[in-house]
Chain A
Amino acid sequence: MNLSQQIVNGLVLGSGYACIALGWTILLGVARLVNFAHGQLYMLSAFVTWYAMTRAGAPYWAAIVIAIVVLSLLGALMQLAMTRLVIEQNLTSLMIVTLGLGYVIQGGGALIFGGNPQTLSSVLARTKVDAGALWFTWQDVLVLAMTFVLYAAVWLFVNRTRFGSVIRAVAEDPRLAQLFGINAKLVYLGVFVFECAAVALAAALVAPRAPILTSMGFNEVIMTFVVVVLGGIGSIGGALLAGLGLGMFIAFFGAFVAPAYTTAAAFGMLLLLLVVRPVGLATK
């Protein structure tokens, strides 16, 4: 087993986890909302992208845009249906409702797209980077670069712009925000649409790495959950670190211990870390 190849694998896996978790980090961390349909939305985004490319003949970049638009609209509908629960910050009901919606999306996805594995092919995913003995593709490089760019952009937006302050204000106290003339419902709608658009972009970037299945949502939501909790709920930098860390852990655990138990091991690590450091990796 080559050590530097495992580090590359860890970065590749980890940037994927971080990329997929971005929307939920903002949703949970900034607006304090949950969305357990996140994994199924990831699945749906991958299939919308696949459908646009294979059935409608759209180029890869156009399929990404289509997936983002479709998921944003779906997100807006979901949020409108949940508005009352959101304003009341009823997290338990939101958890159950989004979990239920996730299964509806999974069932709908299976009906529309069938139960067979499909390949979301991107040219970049088929081109290997010439780096001696190391094995990775240009798609991996794209995911890594986009993840850093997206995390930096979102961090700047949330912490350095007026809209970012508005979102943080609504997250802290949606009722009080109303007295500042802020339409809290509209802000929640915007954040949820961002979550869905971000998951669409992440899926279009990450999904070409492996065959896609309409049943893959659950595993994605679990991994995202681990990343967000590890990162220290709500911390943007923490989630990026946690995503990369989880990728490294899984790459090494899979290579040196047992590939079949990586998910269980990831949860073991989560438990251990939460016992040692209950606030997650975030340092704030």
Chain B
Amino acid sequence: MTAALACSHLTVSYDGNVALNGVSLSVGSGQMIGLVGANGAGKSTLVNAVAGWSRGRPAVSGSVTLDGADISALAAHARAQHGLLLVPEGKNIFAELTVDENLGLVRAPRDVAGRHVFSIADVFNLFPRLTERRTYKGGSLSGGERQMLAVGRALLAAPRVLILDEPSAGLAPRLILDLLERIRSLVDRGLPVLLVEQNVKAALKVVDHLYLLERGRIIAGGPTTVMKSDARIVEAYLGTLAVDRA
């Protein structure tokens, strides 16, 4: 069976400085894959390269396939139209547009074969908070509401695969797990998700499979149950006590 999303030998450099070095990974259908690593490890560089997108000027080599089709040559907007939806780190909604206008920018394609279709009602069911904010400008939303809006608009595009780059950044700790669990509920309905997360403990509660990235290379990866007790994960991210409590 082909993976929903796969990248192989992705290498990215900025002005000749290598930020990602020959990374390969795949996301199976109905799977939630976690990607963790220290600040500057190259997580965003990796998911941005997969989406063919950047705010900088990266030089990218390697290939990306989506449901078996090679999309390496497509521009970012075309990859989004093909169902590869990235919610980037940082600013990921339009501040000067209202919630409704942000959501209205996106249209599901006519041919939805192989796509996971979500209606606007699905989005409001998933994030009831957004319902009360429909006429507010994006710029006036709280951090959590912005993430909900960013995920919501990605869902409306009928994704094949959803990639989330640190959706919990700036969220209060008690909201992080709540958001991740809502996203997990989408995976349980069949949507493949690649999640970049700095809160490793929270990520381990929802993902099926975890990759650890360090200095532009994947240095460990495996099923969550195994990775939970991986020495590198425990030492760097959980601390010995944390495992006992988890």
CB within 8 Å of B: which residues of A? Answer: 162, 165-166, 168-169, 172-173, 175-184
Residues of chain A lying within 8 A (CB to CB) of residue B157: 180-181
From A166, A176, A181, A183, contact of B88 by CB (8 A): A176
* Complexed CA–CA distance, A168 and B98 (Å): 11
- Contacts A165-B97, A168-B94 given; does A179 touch B104 at CB 8 Å: no
* Complexed CA–CA distance, A168 and B101 (Å): 10
- Contacts A162-B104, A179-B51, A181-B77 given; does A168 touch B88 at CB 8 Å: no
* Complexed CA–CA distance, A128 and B27 (Å): 74
Q: How near does chain B come to A122, taking the closest CB pair, in angstroms? A: 40
Residues of chain B lying within 8 A (CB to CB) of residue A179: 51, 53, 76-77, 80, 85-88, 92
B155-190 near A? 1/0 per residue, CB < 8 Å:
001000000000000000000000000000000000
- Contacts A162-B104, A166-B105 given; does A181 touch B94 at CB 8 Å: no
Q: Quick one: closest B residue to A182, CB to CB? A: B77
* Complexed CA–CA distance, A71 and B140 (Å): 40
* Complexed CA–CA distance, A177 and B81 (Å): 12
Q: Is A178 a contact of B77 with CB atoms below 8 Å?
A: yes
| Residue B110 interfacial (CB < 8 Å) | no
Q: Is A176 a contact of B91 with CB atoms below 8 Å?
A: yes
| Residue B227 interfacial (CB < 8 Å) | no
Q: Quick one: closest B residue to A180, CB to CB? A: B105
Q: Is B94 a contact of A178 with CB atoms below 8 Å?
A: no
* Complexed CA–CA distance, A99 and B85 (Å): 40
* Complexed CA–CA distance, A162 and B100 (Å): 11
Q: What are 8 A-B pairs with beta-carbon distances under 8 A?
A: A169-B94, A175-B55, A178-B76, A179-B53, A180-B157, A181-B106, A183-B75, A183-B78
From B76, B88, B96, contact of A172 by CB (8 A): B96
**Nearest 6 pairs between A and B by C-beta?**
A181-B80, A178-B76, A178-B77, A165-B101, A181-B81, A183-B77
Residues of chain B lying within 8 A (CB to CB) of residue A162: 104-105
Q: Is A176 a contact of B94 with CB atoms below 8 Å?
A: yes
Given contacts A172-B94, A172-B97, A180-B105, 7 further A-B contacts (CB under 8 A): A176-B91, A178-B53, A179-B76, A180-B106, A181-B80, A181-B81, A182-B77
Residues of chain B lying within 8 A (CB to CB) of residue A168: 94, 96-97, 101
Residues of chain A lying within 8 A (CB to CB) of residue B77: 177-184
Residues of B81-134 at the interface with A, using a CB-CB cut-off of 8 Å, are 81, 85-88, 91-97, 101, 104-107
Residues of chain A lying within 8 A (CB to CB) of residue B95: 172
Residues of chain A lying within 8 A (CB to CB) of residue B88: 176, 179
- Contacts A168-B94, A168-B96 given; does A178 touch B80 at CB 8 Å: yes
Range, interface on chain B: 20 to 34
Residues of B54-87 at the interface with A, using a CB-CB cut-off of 8 Å, are 54-55, 75-78, 80-81, 85-87
* Complexed CA–CA distance, A58 and B225 (Å): 79
Residues of chain A lying within 8 A (CB to CB) of residue B51: 179
- Tell me which of A168, A169, A172, A181 has the highest count of chain B C-beta atoms within 10 A of its own C-beta: A181
| Residue B209 interfacial (CB < 8 Å) | no
- Tell me which of B54, B55, B88, B101 has the highest count of chain A C-beta atoms within 10 A of its own C-beta: B101
Q: Is A169 a contact of B75 with CB atoms below 8 Å?
A: no
Residues of chain B lying within 8 A (CB to CB) of residue A180: 77, 80, 105-106, 153, 157
* Complexed CA–CA distance, A179 and B85 (Å): 7
Residues of chain B lying within 8 A (CB to CB) of residue A182: 77, 105
Q: Quick one: closest B residue to A184, CB to CB? A: B77
Q: How near does chain B come to A108, taking the closest CB pair, in angstroms? A: 34
Q: How near does chain A come to B108, taking the closest CB pair, in angstroms? A: 10
Q: How near does chain A come to B52, taking the closest CB pair, in angstroms? A: 9
- Tell me which of A165, A173, A180 has the highest count of chain B C-beta atoms within 10 A of its own C-beta: A180
Q: How near does chain B come to A91, taking the closest CB pair, in angstroms? A: 18
* Complexed CA–CA distance, A90 and B229 (Å): 50
Residues of chain A lying within 8 A (CB to CB) of residue B91: 173, 176
* Complexed CA–CA distance, A213 and B193 (Å): 63
Residues of chain B lying within 8 A (CB to CB) of residue A166: 105
Residues of chain B lying within 8 A (CB to CB) of residue A173: 91, 94
Residues of chain A lying within 8 A (CB to CB) of residue B76: 178-179
From B55, B80, B85, B105, contact of A169 by CB (8 A): B105
Q: Quick one: closest A residue to B56, CB to CB? A: A175
* Complexed CA–CA distance, A166 and B85 (Å): 18
Q: Quick one: closest B residue to A88, CB to CB? A: B57
* Complexed CA–CA distance, A262 and B54 (Å): 49
Q: Is A169 a contact of B97 with CB atoms below 8 Å?
A: yes
Q: Quick one: closest B residue to A186, CB to CB? A: B77
* Complexed CA–CA distance, A166 and B75 (Å): 18
Q: Quick one: closest A residue to B82, CB to CB? A: A181
Residues of chain B lying within 8 A (CB to CB) of residue A181: 77, 80-81, 106-107, 157
* Complexed CA–CA distance, A276 and B175 (Å): 46
Residues of chain A lying within 8 A (CB to CB) of residue B85: 179
